[in-house]
Amino acid sequence: MSLESLREGKIAVLLGGNSAERAVSLNSGKTVIDALQTLGMQVVAVDPAEPDWAAQLAGASLAFIVLHGPGGEDGSMQGALQTLGIPYTGSGVLGSALAMDKKRAKQLWQGIELPTAGFTTLAKDSDWQGVIDRFGKVFVKPACEGSSIGMSSANTAEALRASYELASQYAGEVLAEQFIAGPEYTVAILGDRALPSIRLETDNEFYDYEAKYISDDTRYHCPSGLSASEEAEIAALSLRAFRSLGCAVWGRVDVMRDAAGRFFVLEVNTVPGMTSHSLVPMAAAATGMAIPALVQRIVELSLGEVT
């Protein structure tokens, strides 16, 4: 299937859904729909939160997935589309599932000696003080959510218990990840290429939901201020982390750098945001690629991956 042949059919943009990131997904979906229409494509918006969403896929030549979080980014929608015989954008079932599960992604990275922050799984009967004694300050997060939803920091046993209670409101396991003091970077992946890194700067304690999607005070530095050799290092690390999970086509890798200058992978996002505040469009723009061209490239790469 070619891009030209797609113009004779229609592309279903999957957006919204039932996850905690529904609002972000709706905004991402609007961006993608506008871009596809600019490219001359016929588009139908499909929201899996609607009872007849599967029927709305009838006749679709391609599904462009911009569902964030569980139900869209965890392999379940990818598996459903494969069963229906509908090509789709982005990573497949395995890559999506592994990247969505932060615990298993980090276990895999530890196994191949890829640098990632130390962590442990929390439960109701965890030794709260023991975790603090082992790691010091930690970030607590649901293992299978994105956009920093349910995430908070803790540096005492009492705060750790409260952070666990917050994160446990979401499905899946809860992780306590060792705090890394230093700048945060993100690297967009497009095909076999890492786009220029972006350094994130916020007055909040960390790059949380408010800093990502609401605040106009968050600073994005692209170029990120890294030297050419450091840029090559973070690109290679990000590509390795992305590929090791079986991810493909496009995504985003989040990285921290400690005081000694070492890079640590935090997580991989297989369906990154495409809103006005989003980072993949920002990185693409730094290479001269506008959003319609970015969306077109994602479609072209996806057709090569899933057909």
The Cβ of residue 169 has, within 10 Å, a number of other Cβ atoms equal to: 12
DSSP state of 226: -
Residue 145 annotated as catalytic? no
How is residue 168 annotated by DSSP? T
Per annotation, catalytic residue among 172, 209, 213, 302: 213
Separation of alpha carbons 213 and 116, rounded Å: 25
* Residue/partner pairs of 201-208 with CB below 8 Å, 24 or more apart: 205/153, 206/139, 206/148, 206/151, 206/153, 207/148, 208/148, 208/151
* Residue tagged active-site, from 22, 74, 273, 302: 273
* Measured distance CA(168)–CA(163) in Å, rounded: 9
173 belongs to the catalytic site = no
Assigned token pair, 113:
């000696």
Q: Interhelix angle for 76-84 vs 93-100, to 10°?
A: 170
Whether 261 is catalytic: no
Compute CA 137 distance to the chain's CA centroid, rounded to the nearest angstrom. Answer: 24
Is residue 30 within 8 A of residue 16, CB to CB? The reply is: no
Round to whole Å and give the CA distance between 41 and 226.
39
Catalytic, out of 148, 244, 269, 278: 269
Identified catalytic residue from 17, 19, 21, 208: 21
d(CA 180, CA 151): 15
Beta strands (DSSP E) in 160-228 are: 174-178, 184-190, 193-194, 198-201, 219-221
CA angle (45, 47, 51) in 5-degree steps? 125
Catalytic residue check, 273: yes
Under a CB-based contact definition with an 8 Å cutoff, are residues 49 and 15 in contact? no
Residue of 19, 147, 163, 197 with catalytic role: 147
Q: Pick the catalytic residue: 71, 267, 278, 302?
A: 267
- The residue annotated as part of the active site, out of 244, 254, 278, 302, is 254
Residues assigned a catalytic role: 21, 147, 213, 252, 254, 267, 269, 273
